[in-house]
Amino acid sequence: MADVGKVYLVGAGPGDPTLLTVRGLSLLQRADCVLYDALSHPGILSHCRPDALLRNVGKRGGSISPSQGWITEQLISLAQEGRHVVRLKGGDSYLFARGAEEAEALARAGVPFEVVPGLSSPVGTSAYAGIPLTHRDLSSSVTFITGSDKEGKEWSDDAWRKLATATDTICVLMGMRRIREITRAVVDGGRSESTPAAVVQWGARPEQRVVAGTLADIADLASEAGLSNPAVIVIGEVVSLRETLRWFDRQPLFSKRVLVPRAEHQAASTAQAIRERGAEPVLFPVIQIEAPEDPEPLRGAVERLSEYDWVLFTSPNGVQRFFDEVAAQGCDARALGGAKVGVIGPKTGQSLRQHGINADLVAKDFVGEALAEAVIAQLGEGGAVRVLIPRALVAREELPNALRAAGATVDVVPAYRTVGLDAEGQAELSRLLRGGGVDVVLFTSSSTVTHTCDALGADAAEVLSKVTVASIGPVTTDTLKSRGVAVKVMASVYTVDGILDALDAYFSK
């Protein structure tokens, strides 16, 4: 029999996937199996190993769901097979969840386990809604209560009446089905009808919706707004601070769905930057980065690195593929010898630093012409130098042409190529954009423009006219215009943060 593994009961926190703890992240990255709930953000699963076994065991009211007994059996059997298992739950595993029951079963079965607390949903979602649960002047106590007790049996009106004045702030989880009865009972128990109350649905997500009122009208307001579970009901004077303290849903990009057509390995950091602004990234890579069909030019260039005076990189992909070949030849950064290195843009420079090299030259403007101008300024009389440019198979020629005109010998070698969507992917992209599921399309390169427009076909410009098209810079904008696409937003600083700043300004108007 295999050695017994271990089960980790990990709280995922509410909504925002970045609220996962550092310990939880570390365990997810190493887990053999992950059993996750419906309320844990799907973005968290991107941290799992590619070969990890992922099982959705979420239980949602009104839907056919795995039984708690079956889930517990799975935890035990997987651990007994010697696997390390993460049981991922929304919020905290021990607060109105079944984590304690699962831990008891694991203990009885002799399976080692660890509990990793998570940010609880009432604490996290109320903070994102601008509602502090306690306040020196307004509340010195808070009670968390579920809208029903064991096996779905509702709490009695008498129980709610006793709670009404026993605490300053009341947070009710899973109570939307009985919100009218709950608020009426709290008033009957002695709370004034004018007591502030709020409902926070899908808290800490771009889908977050908050309705604020009083005990007298919150049930009607929530019903009119169509709010339902998952939601937290907050009752108490602290709710009156929402208009002053709300921050998450005041961000210009809040609730916007932003399509990111970048290659998959580049999209994660972009998605995180989008989430930080209250928007929802829609990751849809329209290109795949692959090795060139003929690897010999890059291989030969790396073998002859000592012959070059300059090596110029125009993208992080070029950096990565170049150093992959360097490593394949049993070398490291020292292979560059005395060659100087230049890059377009800070992201390319950052990618270079991951290989232990600081760029000698970073173009002031993040385009090929600017890098050529900066290199030429250092060439001196005659410009008799040899330059290597590892880049995409298909790219703009302005950089090498300018250097050649200045007298340099330039070798352009394909380090990678981009491959577009197949027929199924093209149809899916068209459905997504035509169906109104996207507010913004964020183009970060000419290649993403070309492959997106190719995928959409002859009416690409018409389809994209229905969304806000955002461009990272003038080169990408020119490519969009050449395809007949109207650009509504362009970054003044040609980075992902720059384009998001530009979108903030646009939607602030």
CATH classification of the domain holding 115: 3.40.1010.10
Same domain, residue pair 71 and 170: no
**Among 76-90, 136-150, 452-466, which is the least confidently predicted range?**
136-150
**Quick check: 464 and 456 in contact, CB under 8 A?**
yes
How crowded is residue 22: how many other Cβ atoms within 10 Å of its Cβ? 8
Percent of the chain with pLDDT over 70: 96
Residue with tokens 């080169």: 475
Q: Which residues contact 300 (CB under 8 A, 6 or more apart)?
A: 413
Residues 281 and 427 in one domain: yes
Distances (CA, A) of 247 to 253, 274, 508: 12, 16, 14
Residue 16 resides in a domain: yes
Whether 149 sits among the annotated catalytic residues: the reply is no
- Average pLDDT, stretch 495-507? 96
Residues 400 and 484 in one domain: no
Are 294 and 411 contained in the same domain? yes
Domain termination residue (choose one: 119, 152, 181): 119
The three-state DSSP-derived secondary structure of 62-83 is CCCCCCHHHHHHHHHHHHHCCC
Is the pLDDT confidence value at 362 over 80?
Answer: yes
* Average pLDDT over the chain, rounded to an integer: 91
Q: Are residues 414 and 424 in the same domain?
A: no
Q: What is the CA 202 to chain-centroid distance, rounded?
A: 16
Q: How much is the CA Rg of the chain, to the nearest whole Å?
A: 28
Beta bridge partners of 135: 139
Judge whether 1 lies within some domain: no
Its pTM stands at 0.80
- Assign 147 a pLDDT band (cuts: 50, 70, 90): confident
Q: Of 24, 132, 144, 163, which is closest to residue 95 (Cα–Cα)? A: 144
> Tokens at residue 213, please?
């009122």
Residue 110 DSSP symbol: T
Q: What is the DSSP letter of 345?
A: S
Is residue 1 scored above 50 in pLDDT? no
Residue of 59, 162, 340, 488 marked catalytic: 59
Is residue 197 helix, strand or coil? strand
Distance CA 297, CA 291 (A): 12
241 shares its domain with 128: yes
What pLDDT, in 10s, does the model give residues 151-195?
445 677 788 888 999 999 999 999 999 999 999 999 999 999 999
Question: Letter for the amino acid at 459?
Answer: D
Whether the pLDDT of residue 120 is over 90: the answer is yes
Q: What tokens were used for 343?
A: 């890059």
Q: Are residues 137 and 242 in the same domain?
A: yes
Give the end of a domain, one of 84, 119, 154.
119
Lowest mean pLDDT of 291-295, 343-347, 363-367, name the range. 363-367
Residues 6+ apart with CB under 8 A from 269: 496
CA distances from 325 to 3, 82, 108, 297 (A): 40, 38, 53, 11
175 found inside a domain: yes
Q: How far apart are the first and last CA of the chain?
A: 65
Exactly one of 37, 92, 168, 439 is catalytic; name it.
Answer: 37
Last residue of a domain, one of 62, 87, 119: 119
Asked if residue 405 is part of any domain, the answer here is yes
Which CATH number is 342's domain given?
A: 3.40.50.10090
Beta carbons of 59 and 72 less than 8 angstroms apart: no
**401 domain-assigned:** yes
The amino acid occupying position 205 is R
The pair of three-digit structure tokens given for residue 332, joined into one six-digit string = 């490291």
- The answer to the question of residue 457 being in a domain is yes
Determine which helix (DSSP H) or strand (DSSP E) holds 311, and give its type and residue range. Answer: strand 310-313
Q: Using DSSP, state whether 230 is helix, strand or coil.
A: coil
Query: Where residue 230 falls among pLDDT bands split at 50, 70, 90?
Result: very high
> CA–CA separation, 336 vs 314, rounded Å?
17
Domain count, the chain: 4
Give residue 38's pLDDT.
85
Same domain, 108 and 138: no
What is the separation of C-alpha 237 from the centre of its chain, rounded to a whole number of angstroms?
Answer: 34
Query: Residue 239 is part of which domain span?
Result: 123-250
Are 161 and 186 a contacting pair, CB within 8 Å? Answer: yes
Q: Is 264 in the same domain as 346? A: no
49/66 same-domain check:
yes
- Asked if residue 209 belongs to a domain, the reply is yes
CB atoms near residue 384 (< 10 Å): 12
Those residues with Cβ within 8 angstroms of residue 253's Cβ, 6 or more apart along the chain or in another chain: 274, 277, 278, 279, 500, 503, 504, 507
In this predicted model, what pLDDT tens digit does every residue of 363-387 receive, in sequence order? 877 677 888 888 888 876 555 789 9
Same-domain pairing of 333 and 402: yes
325 plus 400 within the same structural domain: yes
Residue 317 covered by a domain: yes
59 a catalytic residue? yes
